[in-house]
């Protein structure tokens, strides 16, 4: 794990600001930091670095004249090896190698000019580096002097002239996205109050997909302003926490396979004794175990399967090219081609489902786009810290997990019926379609419920014919569902209690 810092200190000549940087670097255990607008060069910085607690650190700047230096980078050579690849008034490009892991990371420290016209050169530079940095983890951090949307400012002019589109268009074309962050929402303030007060998010930590893949838990923290009008930022290059048991995920690609319905029928036709609800939930559990094994055998590590199928197909073409009249090689080459194309389609469908992007159809090999979307969504959904009621901030994933459990246990109660002194709460108004005791008995004895009010005319089945979709709630997750006659036997169990849950597809929710 490496810690990266960046801060527009607005001058580093005063002892107060030097002490603030020293405390920040020590507290966050920084390995490399970019000091924006230091107003001194690396030669002068080497003289004061010792009293800042940075003995032995190396430094470089982007200015010929120390008085015009806009970016200064300093790093701990015991942790990192740094090479300056490029620099200009608005950026410094550093190739860093983590000595502990030999991992490489490209960092672009940025200080954008104040005027939109001058920043065009910065946007062009970032877009131009995109093609070079596609496969290399890339981090662009610093004071961009620009906002992404109107939500990134409070106070001042609320207009949105055309030049303000330059920054969002730039990061889209450069393949960058904002790292998940905690701390301050607005990183710059003009220090005024009332109608004259203005706050903006001018400091950003942006990353490409290669970085999110190498450091899935990377995130930024923006600290409160101290001796400058800008907030310091700390980027934690963290690996994913230890693996946990993954929940079951139904993959839509299974429904397009010829052997899938046989797997379903083989499980669903097994005899299970008990009331209808028990029978149904037991079969769902059996189905889940069967589909887990099915996934491990046929669709796990889908990208590796695609790469292997591609290699075999290329080999088959080469062999056929050497012996073009061999009928056995001709047939084998066709089989390998069909297998490769099938796996490519499944891979694209897999990443589309995981990314939850529904507006783009399959067929154009959008795998890379869906994969990047998945990485960004996973990064955004990661919980990096949690504040407890007493103000303690938890960072350890196990502690966050346990605190969430404790919170909801306290909120919802233990479920014990022995609660002396507690007032009973009437929750009958929460249920709109209540059933009588006779109807309950009918359900659990397996009698026909077709005559009950609000009973659905036909059940919604569990597994799908191609193309049918159903929403799973407000988060817009979708899954294919069934409606074909080949698995109509599933409806017998569902019919018996589905009416209890209006507007809710129970069969799908159990998976």
* Termini Cα distance of the chain: 37
Model confidence at 424: pLDDT above 70: no
106-164 per-position pLDDT tens digit: 999 999 999 999 999 999 999 998 877 778 999 999 999 999 999 999 999 999 999 99
Which domains does the chain show, CATH number per domain?
Answer: 2-237 (3.60.10.10), 244-299+435-511 (no CATH), 301-411 (no CATH)
From 53-62, 430-439, 488-497, the region with the lowest mean pLDDT: 488-497
Dihedral of alpha carbons 115, 121, 122, 127, sign: positive
Stated as kind and residue range, the H or E segment containing 61 is strand 58-61
Q: Which of 142, 18, 178, 164 is nearest to 70 (CA)?
A: 142
Bridge partners, residue 230, by sequence? 188
Tell me how far the alpha carbon of residue 372 is from its chain's centroid.
9
For residue 64, what pLDDT band results from cuts at 50, 70 and 90?
Answer: low
How confident is the model over 8-26, as a mean pLDDT? Answer: 93
DSSP 3-state assignment of 159?
A: coil
- As a whole number of angstroms, the distance between CA 153 and CA 110 comes to 20
Tell me how far the alpha carbon of residue 269 is from its chain's centroid.
39
Task: Report pLDDT for 173.
Answer: 93
Task: Report pLDDT for 247.
Answer: 76
Global confidence as pTM:
0.63
Query: Which of 309-313, 450-454, 493-497 has the largest mean confidence?
Result: 309-313
How confident is the model over 192-198, as a mean pLDDT? Answer: 93
Model confidence at 502: pLDDT above 60: no
Q: Which of 185, 188, 143 is nearest to 167 (CA)?
A: 143
Mean of per-residue pLDDT scores for the chain: 80
Model confidence at 87: pLDDT above 50: yes
For residue 491, what are the CA distances in angstroms to 104, 227, 245, 452?
56, 68, 31, 16
The set of long-range contacts for 485-491, using a CB threshold of 8 Å and a minimum separation of 24, is: 486/261, 486/265, 487/261, 487/264, 487/265, 487/268, 487/461, 487/462, 487/463, 488/461, 489/265, 489/268, 489/269, 490/268, 490/459, 490/461, 490/462, 490/463, 491/458, 491/459, 491/461
Task: Report pLDDT for 249.
Answer: 80
The residue written with tokens 């410094």 in the block is 92
Model confidence at 454: pLDDT above 70: no
């Amino acid at each position: 794990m490496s810690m990266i810092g960046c801060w527009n200190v607005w001058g580093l000549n005063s002892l107060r600001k030097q002490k603030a940087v020293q405390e920040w670097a020590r507290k966050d255990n920084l390995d490399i930091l970019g000091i924006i607008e230091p107003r001194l060069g690396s030669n002068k910085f080497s003289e004061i670095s010792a009293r800042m607690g940075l003995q032995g650190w190396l430094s470089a700047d982007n200015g010929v004249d120390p008085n015009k230096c806009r970016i200064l980078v300093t790093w701990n050579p015991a942790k990192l090896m740094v090479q300056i690849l490029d620099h200009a008034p608005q950026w410094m490009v550093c190739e860093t190698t983590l000595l502990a892991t030999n991992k490489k990371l490209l960092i672009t420290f940025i200080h954008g000019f104040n005027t939109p016209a001058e920043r065009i050169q910065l946007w062009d530079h970032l877009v131009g580096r995109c093609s070079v940095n596609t496969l290399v983890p890339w981090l662009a951090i610093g004071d961009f002097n620009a906002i992404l949307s109107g939500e990134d400012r409070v106070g001042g002019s609320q207009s949105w002239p055309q030049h303000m589109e330059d920054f969002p268009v730039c990061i889209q074309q450069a393949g960058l996205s904002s790292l998940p962050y905690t701390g301050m929402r607005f990183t710059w303030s003009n220090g005024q109050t009332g109608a004259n007060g203005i706050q903006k998010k001018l400091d950003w930590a942006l990353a490409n997909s290669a970085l999110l893949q190498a450091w899935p838990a990377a995130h930024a923290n923006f600290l409160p302003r101290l001796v400058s009008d800008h907030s310091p930022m700390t980027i934690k290059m963290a690996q994913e926490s230890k693996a946990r048991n993954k929940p079951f995920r139904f993959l839509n690609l299974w429904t397009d396979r010829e052997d899938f319905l046989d797997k379903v029928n083989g499980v669903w036709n097994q005899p299970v004794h008990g009331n209808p609800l028990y029978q149904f939930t037991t079969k769902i559990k059996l189905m889940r175990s069967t589909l887990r094994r099915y996934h491990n055998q046929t669709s796990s590590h889908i990208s590796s399967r695609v790469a292997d199928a591609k290699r075999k197909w290329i080999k088959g073409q080469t062999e056929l090219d050497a012996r073009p009249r061999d009928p056995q090689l001709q047939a084998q080459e066709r089989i390998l081609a069909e297998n490769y194309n099938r796996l490519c389609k499944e891979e694209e469908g897999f990443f589309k489902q995981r990314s939850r992007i529904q507006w783009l159809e399959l067929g154009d090999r959008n795998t890379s786009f869906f994969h990047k979307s998945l990485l960004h969504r996973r990064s955004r959904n990661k919980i990096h810290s949690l504040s407890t009621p007493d103000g303690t901030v938890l960072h350890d994933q196990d502690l966050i997990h346990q605190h969430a459990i404790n919170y909801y246990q306290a909120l919802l109660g233990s479920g014990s019926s022995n609660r002396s002194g507690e007032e009973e709460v009437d929750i009958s108004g929460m249920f709109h379609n209540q059933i009588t005791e006779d109807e309950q008995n009918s359900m659990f004895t397996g009698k026909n419920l077709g005559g009950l009010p609000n009973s659905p005319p036909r059940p919604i089945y569990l597994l799908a014919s191609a193309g049918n979709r159903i929403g799973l709630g407000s988060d817009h997750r979708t899954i294919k569902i069934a409606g074909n006659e080949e698995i109509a036997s599933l409806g017998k169990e569902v019919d018996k209690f589905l009416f209890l849950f209006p507007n809710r597809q129970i069969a799908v929710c159990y998976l």
